[in-house]
């Protein structure tokens, strides 16, 4: 990107942050996805709003936007449930019980292709898990421009860690086709396309290195 174009973009992003209280930074597939999160004044007043049509997540405290980010929602035959929920289970280093790997010594292979490998099972990483309905939750993962998950809501990189810090057991979650914030905030959310992003090597996926941590403080203020 040329210096002038980049300067204009950064100026626009800074202006948007001042107007909305939320910000996301540019990221292509595979890069980190930087978002701004603000510390809530009263954690009991935090609520989460999800727009399925826009694939947006808004963390709100009253009319104040604490964080907003792109997400990936469920595919048509395995949709993300709609309605009103509450987060009731959080686990920072959650792993899938359905998808994962078999580890035998230094050998790591996908579990579905490991019929002849008698190693230990290690689930696919689903870091910063926040469950709102049985087997459905927000978690760290690749984010796409189109629905791609089995119903969970994926958040890229540090967005998942910051979301995890903002919510608690009992935080209200509303999931609907659209949200009022789609009009006021939605256009300011940076889209993410991980469609061409390769998975990390299996040798990393089975370790804690698979869980991306924030590059700086969780909250801006």
Give the model confidence (pLDDT) of 139-191 as tens digits.
999 999 999 999 999 999 999 999 999 999 999 999 999 999 999 999 999 99
pLDDT at residue 24, as a whole number? 58
Is residue 126 within 8 Å of residue 140, measured between CB atoms?
A: yes
Q: What is the mean pLDDT of the chain?
A: 86
Rounded Cα distance, 83 and 58, in Å: 15
Rounded Cα distance, 114 and 117, in Å: 5
Rounded Cα distance, 59 and 74, in Å: 20
What are the distances in angstroms from CA 164 to CA 161, 196, 200?
5, 26, 22
List 68's β-bridge partners, or say none. 58
pTM of the predicted protein model: 0.85
- The answer to whether domain 45-210 has CATH 3.30.70.20 is no
pLDDT at residue 89, as a whole number? 98
Percent of the chain with pLDDT over 70: 84
pLDDT, averaged per 10 consecutive residues of the chain (221 residues), comes to: 34 36 50 88 98 98 98 97 98 92 87 70 95 97 95 96 98 98 96 91 92 90 86
CA R_g for the chain: 18
> Which residues have CB under 8 Å from 146's CB, separation 6+?
none
């Amino acid at each position: 990107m040329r210096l002038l174009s980049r300067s204009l973009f950064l100026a626009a992003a800074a202006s948007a942050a001042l107007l909305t209280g939320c910000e996301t930074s540019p990221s292509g597939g595979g890069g980190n996805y930087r978002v701004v999160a603000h510390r809530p004044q009263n954690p009991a007043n935090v609520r989460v709003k999800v727009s399925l049509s826009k694939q947006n997540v808004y963390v709100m405290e009253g009319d104040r936007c604490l964080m907003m980010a792109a997400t990936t929602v469920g595919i048509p035959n395995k949709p993300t449930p709609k309605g009103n929920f509450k987060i009731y289970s959080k686990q920072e280093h959650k792993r899938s019980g359905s998808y994962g790997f078999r580890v035998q010594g230094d050998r790591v292979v996908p579990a579905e292709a490991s019929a002849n490998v008698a190693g230990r099972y290690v689930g696919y990483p689903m870091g910063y898990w926040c469950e709102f309905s049985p087997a459905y939750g927000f978690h760290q993962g690749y984010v796409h421009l189109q629905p791609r998950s089995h119903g969970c809501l994926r958040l890229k990189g540090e967005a998942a860690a910051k979301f995890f810090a903002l919510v608690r057991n009992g935080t209200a979650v509303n999931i609907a086709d659209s949200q009022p914030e789609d009009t006021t905030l939605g256009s300011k959310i940076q889209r993410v396309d991980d469609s061409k992003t390769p998975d990390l090597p299996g040798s990393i996926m089975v370790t804690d290195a698979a869980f991306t941590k924030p590059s700086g403080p969780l909250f801006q203020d």
